């Protein structure tokens, strides 16, 4: 009859337990030391609330017109609504002062005694920006009315309202203004063979003149009011600059 070899079996069991414990220890060490920190992600454009733009009529005692309705909660929409309210309120104040006297002098049916303001709005987007471009026509008597722009642009990343200083490198802003002036002088709209701008007006432009602007995926658009750079027949101008042509002036994030 064979004897049972208990001590030998116990030794095997102890060795097995030790191997398991050592294996778990080194596995824990490996997992702890091999974790690679996550690389911070570059900020990307958020999915901003959709902007809905409509139109409503204005009918006041001393003026009439149209204005846009802007439905959204993001910064550019809120700023646009605020601007529209203030612009119409300011126009109403002027009309309420001027029009009654004009009606008394020229009659109620005189065009001079009927002020008008028409504001329209469109949305322009790029990968990193969102703009609302307002085209404003006002008539306060005389042969012709006045056309102008108001553009509000915000970052699609953090929603902050932007100025052109945020887009163009600080040390290139003077050079950028000179580039724009040169391009305006060389500009020939379709059907024109000669310059259509006033050289003196363009010469006097500087970087601070470019207050109204927007970006799409291919262009930086600068907006000029009627008479700002040329004759009345030219009207208000939306002047596009290809991003490819001005990339050396742009902050890298916007190109």
Overall size of the chain counted in residues:
255
Mean pLDDT across the stretch 139-165?
94
pLDDT of residue 14: 58
pLDDT of residue 58: 97
pLDDT of residue 25: 59
Using alpha carbons, list the distances in angstroms from residue 37 to 40, 77, 226: 9, 39, 56
Q: What is the DSSP letter of 62?
A: S
Delineate the domains of the chain, giving CATH numbers in brackets.
45-162 (3.30.565.40), 163-255 (3.90.640.20)
pLDDT of residue 34: 44
Q: What is the pTM of this model?
A: 0.80
pLDDT of residue 111: 79
Cα gap 250→211, rounded to integer Å: 16
Q: What is the DSSP letter of 161?
A: B
Q: What is the DSSP letter of 255?
A: -
User: How many beta carbons lie within 10 A of that of residue 39, not counting itself?
Assistant: 6
Cα gap 189→179, rounded to integer Å: 18
């Amino acid at each position: 009859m064979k004897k049972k070899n208990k001590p030998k079996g116990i030794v095997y069991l102890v060795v097995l337990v030790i191997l398991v414990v050592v294996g778990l220890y080194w596995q824990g060490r490996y997992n702890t030391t091999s974790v690679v920190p996550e690389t911070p992600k570059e900020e990307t454009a958020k999915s901003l609330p959709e902007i809905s733009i409509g139109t409503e009529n204005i009918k006041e005692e001393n003026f009439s017109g149209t204005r846009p309705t802007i439905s959204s909660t993001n910064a550019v929409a809120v700023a646009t609504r605020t601007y529209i309210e203030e612009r119409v309120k300011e126009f109403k104040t002027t009309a309420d002062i001027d029009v009654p006297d004009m009606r008394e002098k020229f009659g109620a049916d005189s065009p001079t005694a009927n002020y008008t303001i028409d504001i329209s709005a469109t949305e322009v987007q790029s990968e990193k920006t969102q703009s609302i471009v307002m085209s404003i026509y006002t008539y306060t008597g005389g042969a012709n009315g006045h056309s102008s722009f108001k553009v509000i642009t915000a970052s699609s990343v953090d929603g902050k309202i932007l100025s052109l200083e945020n887009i163009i490198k600080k040390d290139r802003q003077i050079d950028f203004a000179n580039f724009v002036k040169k391009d305006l002088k060389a500009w020939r709209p379709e059907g024109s063979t000669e310059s259509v701008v006033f050289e003196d007006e363009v010469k006097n432009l500087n970087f601070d003149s470019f207050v109204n602007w927007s970006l799409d995926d291919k262009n930086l658009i600068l907006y000029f009011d009627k008479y700002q750079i040329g004759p009345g027949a030219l009207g208000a101008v939306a002047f596009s600059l290809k991003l490819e042509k001005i990339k050396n002036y742009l902050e890298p994030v916007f190109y």
